[in-house]
A and B are shown apart, each in its own frame.
Chain A
Amino acid sequence: MCGIIGVIDRGRETMDGTAIRRALSMMNERGSGEGAGYVAYGCYPEFKDYFALHVFFDNIHETKPRVDELLHEWGRVVHDEEIPTWDLPRLRKVHTPWRYFFKPDTRLMPRSITPAEEIVTEIVMRINTSVEGALVFSSGRNLGVFKAAGWPEEVADFYRIEDYEGHCWLAHNRYPTNTPGWWGGAHPFNLLDWSVVHNGEITSYGTNRRYIESFGYRCTMFTDTEVVAYLVDLLVRRHALPEELAVTALAPPFWDEIDAMADGRRRLHQALRLTYGSAMMNGPFAIVVANQDSMVAFTDRSKLRPLVGAENGDRLYVSSEEAAIRAMDPGITRVFMPRAGEPIIGRVVA
Chain B
Amino acid sequence: MARRMKTQEKKEFQKLVDSNNPKPNLLLNCFWAFSVGGLICIVGQFLHNTIESVFKLSHLESTNVTTLIMIFIGAFLTGIGVYDKIGKVAGAGSIVPITGFANSVVSPAMEFKREGFIFGVAAKMFSIAGPVLVYGITTSVIVGIVYYFIR
Are A and B subunits of one complex? no
A-contacting residues of B (Cβ < 8 Å)?
Answer: none
